[in-house]
Amino acid sequence: MMNFKNLKELMMNLSDEKVCREYVEQMRWKGNPICPHCKGANPYKLKDGKTYRCKEKTCKRDFTVTVGTIMENSKIALSTWMAAIYICSAHKKGISSLQLSRDLGITQKSAWFVLHRVRQLMGEPIDKMDSIVEVDETYVGGKWENMNRGKLKEMRKYGRENKVPVMGFVQRDGKARLTVIGKDSFKDVVRKNIHNSATVITDTHLSYQGLKFEFAGHEFVNHSQSEYRNGITYTNTVEGFFSILKRTIFGTYHQVSPKHLHRYCEETAYRYNTRKVKDNERFNLTMQNVEGRLTYNNLIQKVN
């Protein structure tokens, strides 16, 4: 684990590429290198000090600690990656690619790609929520009249909506989650995210009707009757969670495409779920999820 109090101390401790590499090796492998190609557990280090060679007879391939991670094949220095990951995880409402490019001295295109790779680290396993879970939905997107003419023409050509539905879940005394709804029904999304032993709290939206037959309980608040709380029955927490999402998007990023919205949702949920830990602890936690590569071609490919 790396102990530091702020970005300045982080960059002082991780300014050397060798030290950065050793830190990533420790966070990824915990002292036991594993071949990313065949999962062989007995590789040996070559003379250059950074390359490993797998001992498995069917493999024998060379690799470094960045293979199979968000930093694979990147020309950006590891020290710059460390700073980017810290900044992205520490800023309460994120950071734009333009600002990150100025802060780190890289191009805006590189900063945009780096930020999306870092967001990939922030995705958390979808374990079903239990206990009491607040559920609500919101819509993310701008107004038609504010949209670029070319984008407006394309969206109307394919019959796309300018706003994307997002469902939020907050488990009382637990974690929060944001899910882009897509083609699933509201009930399908609830089923995928909440254990049937839980009590679900929603508003009176018709799409939630019948949940009482599938879960331990279904309570609701009737906003149309100016009811916002009835004892432990309320959705104030998840509504506040939506406010954080929208302030992050409109205040920092200004606009996001529907194709990438799920990554911004994961970023917002990750910060919310780690809000009680210190910035250096969140950085170390994020670095433990460093595996998983996202290529530029996969990032920009069109979604029909």
Per-residue pLDDT tens over the stretch 69-94:
999 999 999 999 999 999 999 999 99
Which among 70, 116, 72 has a CA at the least distance from the CA of 95? 116
- Report how far Cα 2 is from the mean position of its chain's Cα atoms: 22
Per-residue confidence (pLDDT) for residue 289, from 0 to 100: 87
Cα–Cα distance for residue pair 277/37, rounded to 1 Å: 34
Give mean pLDDT, residues 100-128: 93
152 and 197 both lie in a single domain: yes
The top-scoring range by mean pLDDT among 139-153, 204-218, 289-303 is 204-218
pLDDT at 146 over 60: no
Model confidence at 160, pLDDT cuts 50, 70, 90, reads very low
Domain C-terminal end among 121, 154, 176 = 121
Q: Residue 57 — pLDDT band, cuts 50, 70, 90?
A: very high
Q: Is 164 exposed, middle or buried (0-12, 13-18, 19+ CB in 10 A)?
A: buried
C-alpha span between 268 and 246 (Å, rounded): 10
pLDDT tier at 225 (50, 70, 90 boundaries)? confident
Q: How confident is residue 294, by pLDDT bands cut at 50, 70 and 90?
A: low
Between 148 and 222, residue with greater pLDDT: 222
pLDDT, tens digit (0-9, with 9 covering 90-100), for 119-134 = 988 988 889 999 999 9
**What average pLDDT does the structure give for the chain?**
89
165 and 263 in a single domain? The answer is yes
State whether 73 and 188 are in the same domain: no
- Whether residues 200 and 237 share a domain: the answer is yes
Burial of 81 per CB tally in 10 Å (0-12, 13-18, 19+): buried
H helices present in 75-196, as ranges: 78-90, 97-104, 108-121, 149-157, 186-193
167/215 same-domain check: yes
Pair (210, 252) in one structural domain? yes
CA distances in angstroms from 34 to 1, 64, 117, 238, listed in the order given: 19, 10, 22, 41
Q: What pLDDT does residue 142 have?
A: 58
140 close to 127: Cβ distance less than 8 angstroms: no
- Of the pLDDT bands very low, low, confident and very high (cuts 50, 70, 90), residue 4 is confident
Contact assessment for residue 167 and residue 135, using Cβ atoms and an 8 Å cutoff: yes
Work out the pLDDT band at 161, boundaries 50, 70, 90.
low
Give 3 or 195, the one with higher predicted confidence.
195
Distance CA 106, CA 156 (A): 36
In this structure, of 58-62, 148-152, 233-237, the range with the lowest mean pLDDT score is 148-152
The number of distinct structural domains making up the chain is 2
Nearest to residue 161, comparing CAs of 186, 141, 188, 187?
141
Same domain, 107 and 140: no
Regarding whether 12 and 143 lie in a shared domain, the answer is: no
The answer to whether position 239 is within a domain reads: yes
Going by C-alpha positions, the residue among 164, 169, 149 that lies closest to residue 242 is 169
Q: What is the mean pLDDT of residues 222-249?
A: 92
Residue 294 lies in a domain: no
**Which residue range(s) make up the domain with 186?**
132-278
Does pLDDT of 141 surpass 90? no
- The 10 Å CB-count burial string (b at 16+, else e) for 150-159 is eeeeeeeeee
Q: In this structure, what DSSP letter does residue 277 have?
A: S
Query: Average pLDDT of 144-169?
Result: 64
Pairs from 103-108 (Cβ < 8 Å, separation ≥ 24): 104/80, 106/76, 106/80
Q: What is the pLDDT of residue 37?
A: 95
Residue 150 lies in a domain: yes
Q: Final residue of a domain: which of 62, 96, 121?
A: 121
pLDDT at 159: 42
Same domain, 79 and 181: no
Angle at CA 128, nearest 5°, toward 27 and 92? Answer: 55
Domain boundary among 76, 96, 121: 121
Residues 112 and 137 occupy one common structural domain: no
DSSP per-residue string spanning 157-173: HTT--SSEEEEEEEETT
User: Same structural domain for residues 72 and 183?
Assistant: no
Q: Is residue 142 part of a domain?
A: yes
Q: How would residue 270 be classed by pLDDT, with cut points 50, 70 and 90?
A: very high
What is the average per-residue pLDDT within 221-244? Answer: 92
Most confident of 51-65, 139-153, 158-172, 221-235: 51-65
Whether residue 287 lies inside any domain: the answer is no
Position 127 in a domain: no
Same domain, 17 and 110: yes
Give the confidence band of 267 by pLDDT, cuts at 50, 70, 90.
very high
Please tell me the least confidently modeled range out of 109-113, 123-127, 242-246.
123-127
What pLDDT, on a 0 to 100 scale, did the predictor assign at position 128?
Answer: 95
CATH number at residue 141: 3.30.420
Q: Is residue 136 domain-resident?
A: yes
pLDDT at 183: 86
Residue 30 forms part of a structural domain: yes
